[in-house]
Homo-oligomer: A and B are copies of this chain.
Amino acid sequence: MSNDSNQKGGGKSLFALQRRELLMDELRAHGAITVRDIAAKLGVSELTIRRDVNSLADGGLVSRVHGGATLRSPLDRTAVAGKPPAYSYAIGMVVPSLDYYWPQVISGAREEAEGQNLRIMVRGSAYDASDNRRQVQALLDTQNIDGLIVAPDMAGAPGRELLRWLNALPIPVVLAERRTPSDIPAHRLEWVATDHAFGAGMAVRHLWQEGHRAIGCLTDTSSPTSPHVVRGWQQAMAALNIPPENQFYGESAKLDNGERAQHFDDVLKRCQETGTTALLVHSDTQAVAFVQHCVDKGIEVPGDMAIVGYDDEVAYLAEPAISAVKPPKRYVGKVAVQLMAARLAEGRMRPVHRIQLNPELILRESSVGAQRTTHEP
């Protein structure tokens, strides 16, 4: 009867809300507050703070104690047993593509958000730091978001500057499929990312077990993922003691059809020179085009050339179907939301989490040879 006020749309004095936010901040920072201190700090009467605390306690956000409040504690038996807080946060999400890869990440995030009673607002951006920033700013300005999940472009100086800016935002930020470089002290940024190096290594080991002894790597340098794939490929090659002269490495930028055919011919020629019989192709879109090209030229897949794609977006569409490393995209979104929810609930006391997820290797026809072996990477 008395709680649950300001519903009618009457005087929505922002000040009360601000006070409560501040109170929650203080609480998250120190774990507990006294009514007296907060009242003194804000220059309002203690009764006002008590009323704030009670209102927050009714919402299940804090535990009322004699003299103040603490973060909600399991020992607090006062609250309604059934329903933990009916409070909801809004999370902004900025991703670099709404066509490729990211829809599944968003879908995972949405699914998790629904369960956690959170709202998610997604914006697409370009693969470009300044546009990332513009989109984030738009969310901050127009929506009232409590947290941000973002997959920024981190290349070069603008990328670093963007990271610094994100790190300094007043709301928690979680990076998706990005990691903070160790030389920039972005100590507040949390992240979830697929361990692409592990995925590439898994592919290499699979091809090794299929009998290949010269395994190449063809990547798309326009993608932020590419360096990790290359690193994983190199590490695995080194661990398997494959000499450098049996290592073919090629790069492709975005090409249109004519150039692409030419480029693929070059790749095949260099494979022949180095004796390469298997390729890890980053971005399975490209893998599909490459397999197509091979088939057109009469090169048998996997007989003459085994292929493993990276991303598993469209790999199953090719003929023959392409084996691919499949990042746990939905889980990336899901875990990002979990991180954000936990951060919003626990505040600063919670240590910064940085999470890697391992991808999975999906075996299809393009890499499984005559004598099929068990697929233990």
Identify the A interface with B (CB < 8 A). Answer: 10, 14-18, 20-21, 24, 31-32, 37, 56, 59, 61, 63, 65-68, 70, 73-77, 114-115, 182-183, 185, 187, 195, 197-198, 201-202, 205, 235, 239, 328, 331, 335, 350-360, 377
With a 10 A CB-CB cut-off, give which of A32, A197, A351 has the most chain B CB atoms. Answer: A351
Q: Which 8 A-B pairs have the closest CB atoms?
A: A328-B351, A352-B358, A15-B65, A351-B357, A354-B356, A17-B65, A355-B355, A183-B239
Q: Is the CB of A21 within 8 A of B355?
A: no
- Chain B residues within an 8 Å CB radius of A331: 350-351
- Given known A-B contacts A185-B205, A354-B355, A18 and B61 have beta carbons under 8 A apart: no
Sample of 11 more A-B contacts, CB < 8 Å, known A21-B75, A353-B357, A355-B355: A15-B70, A17-B75, A18-B31, A59-B77, A187-B198, A187-B358, A328-B351, A331-B350, A351-B357, A354-B357, A354-B358
Mostly helix, strand, loop or mixed at chain A's interface?
A: mixed
Asked whether, in the complex, the Cβ of B185 is within 8 Å of the Cβ of A197, the reply is no
Integer count of this chain's copies in the complex: 2
**Which residue on chain B has the smallest CB distance to residue A358?**
B352
Contacts of A56 in B (CB 8 A): 75
Which of B18, B195, B353, B360 sits near A356, CB closer than 8 Å? B353
By the criterion CB–CB under 8 Å, are A20 and B75 in contact? yes
Tell me if A354 and B68 are in contact (CB < 8 A): no
Q: Nearest CB to that of A13 among chain B residues? A: B67
Q: Which of B21, B68, B182, B355 contacts A235 (CB 8 A)?
A: B182
Interface contact B356-A187, CB-CB below 8 Å: no
Would B32 and A61 count as touching, CB distance under 8 A?
no
Whether A75 contacts B63 in the complex (CB less than 8 A), given A32-B15, A239-B183, comes out as no
Sample of 30 A–B contacts (CB below 8 Å): A10-B37, A15-B32, A15-B65, A15-B70, A17-B63, A17-B65, A17-B70, A17-B75, A18-B31, A18-B32, A18-B65, A18-B70, A20-B75, A21-B75, A56-B75, A59-B75, A59-B77, A61-B75, A182-B197, A183-B235, A185-B205, A187-B358, A195-B354, A331-B350, A351-B357, A351-B359, A354-B355, A354-B356, A354-B357, A354-B358
Q: Which residues of B contact A65 (CB under 8 A)?
A: 15-18
A89 to chain B, nearest CB (A): 20
Contacting residues, chain B, for A182 (C-beta < 8 A): 197-198, 201, 235
**With a CB–CB cut-off of 8 A, which chain B residues contact A76?**
17
Q: Which residue of B lies closest to A77 (CB)?
A: B59
The answer for the CA separation of A14 and B30 in the assembled complex, in Å, is 12
Shortest CB-to-CB span from A79 to chain B, Å, is 13
Question: What chain B residues lie within 8 Å of A377 (beta carbons)?
Answer: 185, 187
List of B residues within 8 angstroms of A66 by Cβ: 15-16
Q: A73 — which chain B residues lie within 8 A by C-beta?
A: 17, 21
Q: From A24, which residue of chain B is reached at the shortest CB distance?
A: B75
- A41 shortest CB reach to chain B, Å: 12
Task: Please measure, in the bound complex, the distance between the C-alpha atom of A74 and the C-alpha atom of B24, giving whole angstroms.
Answer: 11
* Complex contacts, A239 vs chain B, CB 8 Å: 183
How far, in Å, is A346 (CB) from chain B's closest CB? 10
**A67 is contacted by which of B15, B59, B74 (Cβ under 8 Å)?**
B15
**Cβ of A355: which chain B residues have Cβ within 8 Å of it?**
353-356
